[in-house]
Every structure is written in C-alpha cells, then in structure tokens.
Amino acid sequence: MLISRVARYFKPAVTLSLALALLAGGCAPRPTGVSLTNTPPEPTVQPTSPTTIPPTPTVTLISSDPPTFIYYNGTILTMNKDQPAAEAIAVADDLIVAVGSNEDILSLQVADTELVDLQGRTMMPGFVDPHTHIFNDARYLMDVVDYGKVQQMALKNGITTLANMFVNQGFLAEMQTLNESGGLKVRLSLYLVHTNNCGEILSDWYKEFPPTRVPGEMLRIGGVKLFADGGSCGKPATSFERPGVGLGDLFLTQEEMNTLVSEIDQAGYQVAIHAIGDRAVEQALNAIEFVLDGRPNTLRHRIEHNRIVRPDLIPRYQQVGVVATIFGSLNRCDLEADPLEYQSWSYPNRQLLDANPQVHFAWHGDYPWVGPLSPLLHLYSMVTPYEIINDTLTECPDPVWMTGKTLTVEEMLPMMTIEGAYVLFRENEVGSLEPGKYADLIILSGNPMTDINAIKDLQVWMTMVAGRVEWCAPGHEVFCPVSAGFVPAPTTFSVRIRIQTTSDWTTFGLLSGGSLERPTLISSSMEVTDNWLEEGRFLLTQPFHQAELGQQVEMVVDALLTNVDSDGLLHFEVERGGLGRTQVELYNNLGPTPVLVDTIQWGGTSSGGRNAFPVDIPAAGYLVEPP
C-alpha cells in the first residue's frame, strides 16, 4: 500500500490551478477554517492513484494584491498532491498567492515585488510537530525559562507549527499572556490535561476553555490529553512480561477510559490518548470505537506514540478511524530487546502504514523527552537503519531486531508537514505550499529526497511564519527578504559619542561586536592634538591639577562602527584613571540630527588607579534612521 499513500502528495494533476479566490472587496483570500462543532468537515486529504509529476501550466492570477516577494529558481516540495513540485512561489503579505514555474511566477511581479533567487536550494512547508513539550518543559532546557529562546530553538530547526501536550491552568495562562503580548512566533496548539502522567484523573477544568478553530490563529485550544499507560511515570502496559518491567502500568479500566473519552467527545473536544504499550493501544482503540459507535471520527480523536502494537490490533486503526502519531528518532540503541517472539511488535511503522492506507499518521518529536529537536535528524532516523541520539549527531545503528521502523522520505515528509497539520485541524491553513494558505515555509541547504545519507547534514537556512522571516541563518541573509520583515545587520552605521569626565583620563573603545573606525572630532572643551589610540579606542585626558579640583572636560566625536556581530550587541569598554566621574552618551547619527540612545555613567571611586568597565549595548537603536 506504499504507492497509494505516497500518491496523496506526489501525484500529478491534469492541470495545476493557481487561480486565487477573492474575498469581498478584492482582498487577498484567507484560508478556510474548520467550524467548531461536533461534526467538523470530512478529511480534505484523500488517497489517490499514483502517476508521474506533470509540467507546470500557465498561471492565472486573479487577485488584486500583487506579490510582496517572489522566490524563484528553486526546488520547491509543496506537499500538495495536485502540484507536488515547483520552481517558484509568490507571496502577498502573509499568504501564498501562486506556485509554479519560474517563467509563470516571475511574470506576476510588479515594481515593488522583491525577488529572491533560491539558487537551486530546496523550499518546503515548515515542519509541523503535533506532539512536543518544548514549551511546558522549557525548565529542563535552560536555567531560566525564556519562551523567546524556546521559540527560536524551534524556528532555527524549521518548526513553524507545534502542539504542546501537557497543559495545566497555570501554563495555559502563561501562553495566553504570551499570545496577547504578540510574543508568540510559532503556531501553537494546546492540549489540556484531564489525567496527569501517572493516570490520576483531574477535575474537568478544561471545560472552562472551549476548543478553538479560528483560521490563522497563533494560539489554539486543540483538545484534551489522557494517559492510558506509563512512560514518564510508570511503565508501558504490555500483554507480555518485559525484563525488569513486568506487564507495566495500565492506569484506567476500560469502563473508566470509555467514560472519559465520551465526556470529552460530547463537550466537542478532540481527545489525545497517550498509549505506548499494546494493552494501552487496545484500550484507546476500544474507547474511541465505543464513543464513535459507527460515526465518522470528525473530531479526529488521536492515539499518541503507538510504540508496541500487537499484530491483531494493526488493522483496527482503519476500522475504527483513528488518527495516530508515531515516534521519530529515539535512543533505541540502548534499549533492551523484548523477548524474541514479541520483538516485531515494537515500532511497527511499516506494518501500520501498509495495513491502514486511509489512516492519517503523523510524525511527532516529543522533545525534550525523546530524541533531538531537529526534524531533519528525526527524518534521517526514520528513513535509514540508524539512530541520531541527540542534537550532537551521535549516531548508532538500529538493533538487529528492529526491522519495521524504516519508512521512505516520500512517506515521511508529508507525515512531518500536511499530516501533522491535519492532526491539529490546520490542513486548510498550513502544511503544504499552495495558493490561499499561509506562507509558513523553510529553505534547506539541500534536497532531502536526493540522498538519504546526507539528510543528517542538512541545515535550515530560513524559517518563515505567515510571510515573516522568523529565523535567518547567519551567512545566508540573501534568502531572507527584507519585505518579509527581515532586518539585515548593516555592515556600517554611524554613531556620535560624547564623553564627559572629571577623571585624569578616560578611554573608550570596542572590545568586540564590530570595528570602530578612527573618529572625527566634533568638539572638545580642551585643546586636542591626537586622541586616537591603537585597537579602536580613543583617549580624553586633562591636566592632573584640574582633575584634583573636580573639573569636567568633554569630547564629542563621530565614529563609524563596522562589521557588527550577528548577536546584535556592541561590546564596549570604558577605562579611566584616578578619581572622578565619567559619563558616555551614544547617539544615533543616521539622521540629520543625532538622537540620544544610550547613557552610561560611572561614579567616583574610593581609590585612585585604573578602572575598566565592560558595557554591552544593543545595536538595534542605531540601525534605523530616527524620525
């Protein structure tokens, strides 16, 4: 059944429709949402028969909004079954407006359209991780929880949409505050816990926060999370004895699970059931089947992990109509093998996909608890007989008993994009590159479909969310459009520096972060001959007797700062000798009149001698001409 599944996304169409539907008033179209009812629309992604990729037809663009920017001359993997490959893409503000050949898409440009040459590089939709803990378990990743850094970690690895799978009331409030402040840069779905990871049933607090399905929303209430068996607490529940584990921990009875899933379903939520062992998988299948009672699974109730699956359970995924997520990379190299007769039950990815061609399977990362953060490293592990243990590229071969894990790149890429979007009710918004969807996309250093052994070395050079560049790899700024919000660090900008001191002498200069060129003297309260020192620093001095009397001297210079570091910080040092006070004022000097940006002061010292003070100044205040 491999061909029919792959053909969902790698089949041709007789024609490739690139026309845009207009909203009232001639505005660019918005992605169609999924209504919030107990009966959402039927799946939009359906299997089709395989054929070959066709040539790109002529584009018909009927939108009144011209492209803001166009990428061309690339290998574009769209994950759109009607147009699996393209050379160019046009974006107007936050939406994709056309996908096609270089000739067709470049014909859409207007005077203000920014053109970006992909130089043969690969573009694809941003990765969608429907099961992670990168936000709620950020405390395990860094000393101080910084959600800005957490998001940068995700964006740097090409993740544009994700679902956080353990959400209590306190964490929900934090995410709502982050979203309301405009600080959310990735699309985030939240799954509210109704049991904890040890299976204890919690209150029905989740009912105070209805699920949301607003098209394009950055923060979404996605559904409710239940734990059927152990993993982070206790052990996976299996129907056979495992060394040192026994049968594991099944937290709930079948009747209890049926009741919980029924309540969640009736309240209109999608349910996500943690099930690692085969007994837990069976319980989850039974509960969802009980609740659906022959109805279609319109709420897309899902089973998480599916790590150990008994053979008789495999065809039931399609019979019940569940949605399922499976592990990507995992440190399987140190796993103790199950008894010989049960080893084929572990990670039966191949069997699951072949036996259930109508089921929507998606990859999940489960970071930081499982494997590396990078989806590309997960992809490598899923399509080769090797495992990447962590983000340092530590690698080992799969155990000899693991024969059913490996899939193909053609299968995995949709599972990491459009299928993940389907799991999160976002397949009409993101997950593929096609007109009318949001411009959530990434640029890779190479094509993952050409050499599976090279996948682990691929890099994400650019990540875009809703038409805005949220990550641009240093050295690859050429792929990051200014019209998409990217602000390149200038190679040179001008700053005015005023030094006032009552000390014997003061020097000012850059330690690192850029280069300070020889300044031009604007004014001085004393006679100045040559105050420029070596290594990018200049000197202000005065006669010793004046310093003893506390008199202040002043110097104003204009200087050019060049080669600013990518971290956007200027690392200065002020050094002074003797007693006294020193003040340094830094002005943005790009406009007709200098504008004060930073003031740094040092008071008197208790003793004479030399005193050095390092200062870090954000360069952002000097990058744009002041109004």
Q: Is the pLDDT of residue 399 over 50?
A: yes
Instruction: Map residue 575 onto helix, strand or coil.
Output: strand
Quote the number of domains for the chain: 3
Give the separation between CA 165 and CA 214, rounded to whole angstroms.
20
Q: Give every CB contact of residue 53 below 8 A, 6+ residues apart in sequence.
A: 10, 12, 84, 85
HEC-encoded secondary structure of 135-186? CCCHHHCCCCCCHHHHHHHHHHCCEEEEEEEEECHHHHHHHHHHHHCCCCCC
Count of all residues that appear for the chain in the document? 627
Domain match, 295 and 350 both:
yes
pLDDT band at 36 (very low <50, low <70, confident <90, very high): very low
Could you tell me whether strands 187-193 and 219-227 are parallel, antiparallel, or unpaired per DSSP bridges? parallel
Angle (nearest 5°) at CA 145 between 218 and 375: 60
Instruction: Map residue 354 onto helix, strand or coil.
Output: helix
pLDDT band at 41 (very low <50, low <70, confident <90, very high): very low
Q: Is the pLDDT of residue 436 over 60?
A: yes
Tokens of 622: 């000097």
Domain boundary, last residue among 458, 488, 518: 488
Number of H helices, E strands in the chain: 12, 31
Q: Which residue has the tokens 């053979």?
A: 311
Percent of the chain with pLDDT over 70: 78
Strand partners, 509: 537, 573
Residue 57: predicted pLDDT: 39
Residue 243 maps to which CATH number? 3.20.20.140
C-alpha distances out from residue 68 to 23, 115, 165, 312, 468, Å: 18, 9, 36, 53, 11
Could you tell me whether strands 127-132 and 159-167 are parallel, antiparallel, or unpaired per DSSP bridges? parallel
pLDDT band at 371 (very low <50, low <70, confident <90, very high): confident
Give the separation between CA 221 and CA 188, rounded to whole angstroms.
9
pLDDT band at 269 (very low <50, low <70, confident <90, very high): very high
Q: Is the pLDDT of residue 4 over 70?
A: no
Cβ atoms of residues 474 and 568 within 8 Å: no
* Section 242-260 average pLDDT: 94
Most confident by average pLDDT, 390-399, 473-482, 526-535, 615-624:
473-482
pLDDT in tens, 174-187: 999 999 999 999 99
Residue 221: predicted pLDDT: 98
Q: Give every CB contact of residue 357 below 8 A, 6+ residues apart in sequence.
A: 1, 4, 5, 47, 318
C-alpha distances out from residue 248 to 232, 279, 312, 366, 471, Å: 12, 9, 20, 21, 43
Instruction: For the chain, give the mean pLDDT.
Output: 83
Give the separation between CA 95 and CA 171, rounded to whole angstroms.
31
Tokens of 614: 């390092």
Domain boundary, last residue among 382, 407, 430: 430
* Section 399-421 average pLDDT: 91
Pick from 216, 156, 221: nearest CA to 460:
156
Q: Is the pLDDT of residue 387 over 50?
A: yes
> Distance between alpha carbon 12 and the CA centroid of its chain, in Å?
30
Q: Where are the beta strands (DSSP E) in 458-609?
A: 460-465, 468-472, 492-501, 505-512, 515-516, 520-524, 532-533, 537-541, 553-562, 569-577, 582-588, 595-602
* Section 602-622 average pLDDT: 65
Domain match, 274 and 404 both:
yes
For residue 627, is it within any domain? no
Q: Is the pLDDT of residue 59 over 80?
A: no
Domain match, 426 and 441 both:
no
Most confident by average pLDDT, 98-112, 143-157, 390-404, 551-565:
98-112
Pick from 162, 160, 173: nearest CA to 123:
160
pLDDT in tens, 292-326: 999 999 999 999 999 999 999 999 999 999 999 99
Cβ atoms of residues 10 and 84 within 8 Å: yes
Residue 514: predicted pLDDT: 62
pLDDT in tens, 273-294: 999 999 999 999 999 999 999 9
Residue 20: predicted pLDDT: 30
pLDDT band at 260 (very low <50, low <70, confident <90, very high): very high
Instruction: Map residue 552 onto helix, strand or coil.
Output: coil
Cβ atoms of residues 185 and 465 within 8 Å: yes
* Section 190-206 average pLDDT: 97
Sheet-wide strand order for 69-72: 95-100, 88-92, 69-72, 114-117
Give the separation between CA 9 and CA 21, rounded to whole angstroms.
23
Give the separation between CA 469 and CA 477, rounded to whole angstroms.
10
Domain boundary, last residue among 387, 409, 430: 430
Cβ atoms of residues 36 and 77 within 8 Å: no
Tokens of 405: 């894990």
Q: Give every CB contact of residue 269 below 8 A, 6+ residues apart in sequence.
A: 206, 211, 223, 224, 299
pLDDT in tens, 556-567: 888 777 655 545
Domain match, 435 and 504 both:
no
Residue 86 maps to which CATH number? 2.30.40.10
Ranking 17-31, 135-149, 498-512, 589-603 by mean pLDDT, the lowest is 17-31
Domain match, 119 and 200 both:
no
Most confident by average pLDDT, 32-36, 336-340, 536-540:
336-340
Domain match, 39 and 90 both:
yes
Give the separation between CA 16 and CA 275, rounded to whole angstroms.
41
pLDDT band at 351 (very low <50, low <70, confident <90, very high): very high
Domain match, 117 and 150 both:
no
Give the separation between CA 161 and CA 420, rounded to whole angstroms.
9
Domain match, 504 and 458 both:
no
Domain match, 539 and 597 both:
yes
For residue 420, is it within any domain? yes
Give the separation between CA 303 and CA 308, rounded to whole angstroms.
12
Q: Is the pLDDT of residue 420 over 80?
A: yes
Task: Please list, residue by residue across 204-214, b when 16 or more beta carbons sit within 10 angstroms of its beta carbon and e when fewer do.
Answer: eebeebebebe
Residue ranges making up the domain that contains 510: 492-622
Domain match, 180 and 109 both:
no
Domain match, 87 and 226 both:
no
Domain match, 408 and 321 both:
yes
C-alpha distances out from residue 200 to 228, 233, 239, 600, Å: 10, 11, 22, 55
Tokens of 468: 């805005």
